[in-house]
Amino acid sequence: MHRILNCRVKALSLFLSAFAVTPAIAEDDAWVVSAEQASCILEHSTAYTASGSPVIIIHVASCPNPDPFAGATGSKSNYGGVGKIRSTGNKTRLDDVITFTAEQFKCLTADGVRVEDGIAYIPKSSACGR
């Protein structure tokens, strides 16, 4: 019994450590992309909402292509609703895939995106009161 409990505690510990915040992640409440990619996403927002889907999945490197599976054959992306993260070389990590509900995405504006040193922090949820 003690052995089973010990194994469960270790498994839970490993599971929780996989979700621990690391210093390389700038913000838990923001998608992190290059400023150029954020600009592309905002400029082509109507293309992403045109399908009428309740969920917007954006393969960041494929902007302005609104196909959520663009780049899927490159085996670099995780399409499980959580962006795969890559490094910029300066300890900031960029998200490959970002997701929003259609309502969140409609509320996204350039004013809500913070840009620092060429890195854009796009809020994961935006409230617009519409």
- Identify which of 52, 61, 126, 51 has the alpha carbon closest to the alpha carbon of residue 98: 61
List, for residues 117-129, the tens digit of each pLDDT value: 999 999 998 777 5
Cβ atoms of 34 and 98 within 8 Å: the answer is no
The total number of residues shown for the chain amounts to 130
Q: How many CA atoms are closer than 13 Å to the CA of 115, on its beta-carbon side?
A: 10
Please return the burial class of 60, using the count of CB atoms within 10 Å of its CB with bins 0-12, 13-18 and 19+. Answer: buried
pLDDT in tens, 58-77: 999 999 999 888 766 554 54
Instruction: Find where tokens 């409440």 sit.
Output: 29
| 21 vs 123 pLDDT, higher one | 123
Q: Is the pLDDT of residue 130 over 50?
A: no
Helix or strand (DSSP H, E) at 72: none
Is the model's pTM score more than 0.95? no
Which among 110, 101, 88 is positioned nearest to 130, based on CA atoms? 101
